[in-house]
Structure 1
């Protein structure tokens, strides 16, 4: 295509939505370096930080969630929703968008409806095993629906895997291991346990780890604990908890280093995390989020069935579980290697490229049809 592609990508709230959105945007720019990509998000979401850091312009659409009870907000909802759709249309017109990609989240519903009204092709990527409401709506009118997992129930879905940023998608764990250990300040040959509850953190996981530090240290394990923003573990004096063999940080920008440094990772089973664990070949203990519609447990099932991960419920993830199971697992290098190989057998690295190429092909086809017409 001689003229620069103009694409609007929509998604936000958490890294689980934003990361695949940015991965697809990056893949579009790799295929078409002069492409103009604009992101749609909501005020207050993590996209306010991550999208500008990735180098993309960010426009906002106000949140208009459907109230779950009969109250004053229910009466205001139609007006708020119409405003959100109209704001999305303004952005699409201002950017002269030729296509809209949505990955889920509040902002996607108005973006999908605005695209439909303007007769723009819609592309959907669903990260989870259970599709969200916004993507169920968008998929009804989509030119292409890509999913991470099979059988999400979306019409016309094609399983492509999870779009991920290139530093993770192309990583080779063995090649990064020494740099990753240096990055996190790991010395000697201690096995490394890396713990994360995702970008927002997980209080129950954080608490269980804090209670187990003496036992982990006594077992000769270096624990790297990514607590989540504003969820630091503090001592009785209110200071950030310091402990031998323990590194505490709120957030990590280099997740490729996190996967590379870990002999074992403890984490939630968000779709992005599960797929990145597979690509990295990192053994894991998965603790699904105990709320929602159960999608995190479903996300984990392939990795667990393959032998690349162990599943434990949030309620059962306690100090006792860590001392009786996690410490023993970290002492069994043969078992960890088997889990690593099993995880790596499921790794899919090209989902972002597949989505990008479908967008570019569709826009190119529409341009040719317009010229011929």
Structure 2
């Protein structure tokens, strides 16, 4: 570890898919290099629930969503952007930031622009198969681009997706035991963990409700149904939560994941070596289907299109996976083989080295 601590501002707000990879790199910087961390977020973003619990200082700024169509919000965009950039500059000065690390979302563009205006280095990590507007802007104005996937449409080195340190590591089974106790799970029953992402998914919830009586004949289900959705009815061998706030624990007990295929979800599930049934969110640029494409091709997962999801289709895929020991073992092996590896530490070391080189160059001049 370098003896001189650095101040890092992470910018990835709105959804867990933006927050978690930013936190993964931030936590690696803190553990390996003693970095001081500050996270940018918004009043309504999920980061208000996640970031403080990870021991990171959260500063709120005005969100800058880019409307997909011409409406009143589009005309407010320049004013909101200027306001947010000024707020971000203030934060960067207050924490004496050395570098900004962004992953897209509503706070990323202001962070990139503020860093650029202050002559501060900044990194742009694109975790989706297709890059977003904020990240494309960040690289265009001088950010150091990093990609999780090839051919994302954004220039930059392909590094994979960073996941939190230690995810999937449970050599003595203590993490799984703690999770079973917390959620009252039976250690003798295979566990299916279902999540529709940070906001939940109505189509997945509906399919689970229709399939539950068949699924719980042999298995138990831990289901995150989403804070904005109606709580499901209680049932035996079924635990329903608005949101799983300990995904590491959930992955430790999961024998099978049923989930959306957001980039971060795919990375975490694969890092933990858990087979999955992915149900891509059918909006945007179709990036969710692309996120899981390589894993499906490698045999680590299966995919059900949202339009084709029914209770019976879900039951059939679950039984085809958990009911076939040979296939299940092959899927676990494929998941472990296709894990991105130690991405967070690699990026953290790169950032530290870049800052050290810049410091040496400044002292030489």
Which TM-score band applies after superposition, normalised by the shorter structure?
over 0.9
1:226 alignment counterpart = 224
2:131 alignment counterpart = 131
Structure 1 length-normalised TM: 0.91
Q: How does 1:80-159 map to 2 (within 5 A)?
A: 80-142=80-142, 144-155=144-155, 157-159=156-158
Distance between the aligned counterparts of 2:67 and 2:333, measured in 1? 46
CA 1:318/1:56 → structure 2, altered by over 3 Å: closer, same or farther?
Answer: same
Superposed CA RMSD: 2.0
1:210 alignment counterpart = 209
After TM superposition, give the deviation of residue 179 of structure 1 in Å.
Answer: 4.6
2:364 alignment counterpart = 372
After TM superposition, give the deviation of residue 96 of structure 1 in Å.
Answer: 1.8
Q: How does 1:185-204 map to 2 (within 5 A)?
A: 185-187=184-186, 189-204=188-203
Asked whether the 8 Å contact 2:168–2:273 carries over to 1, the reply is no
The unaligned stretches of length 5 or more in structure 1 are: 235-240
Distance between the aligned counterparts of 1:224 and 1:36, measured in 2? 36
Residue range with higher mean Cα deviation, 137-146 or 104-113:
137-146
Distance between the aligned counterparts of 1:279 and 1:233, measured in 2? 30
Q: How does 1:244-283 map to 2 (within 5 A)?
A: 244-283=236-275
Post-superposition Cα deviations, 1:108-135, rounded to whole Å, max 9, x if no partner, equal 1111011111111111111111111111
CA 1:310/1:76 → structure 2, altered by over 3 Å: closer, same or farther?
Answer: closer
SS of the equivalent of 1:199 reads coil
How many residues are aligned here? 364
SS of the equivalent of 1:225 reads strand
Asked whether the 8 Å contact 2:168–2:252 carries over to 1, the reply is no
SS of the equivalent of 1:310 reads strand
After TM superposition, give the deviation of residue 299 of structure 1 in Å.
Answer: 0.3
Post-superposition Cα deviations, 1:307-355, rounded to whole Å, max 9, x if no partner, equal 0101110111111202333234322222211111111111123111111
Residue range with higher mean Cα deviation, 138-147 or 110-119:
138-147
Distance between the aligned counterparts of 1:361 and 1:110, measured in 2? 25
Structure 2 length-normalised TM: 0.93
After TM superposition, give the deviation of residue 197 of structure 1 in Å.
Answer: 0.8
Distance between the aligned counterparts of 1:133 and 1:60, measured in 2? 21
Distance between the aligned counterparts of 1:42 and 1:178, measured in 2? 35
Asked whether the 8 Å contact 1:39–1:58 carries over to 2, the reply is yes
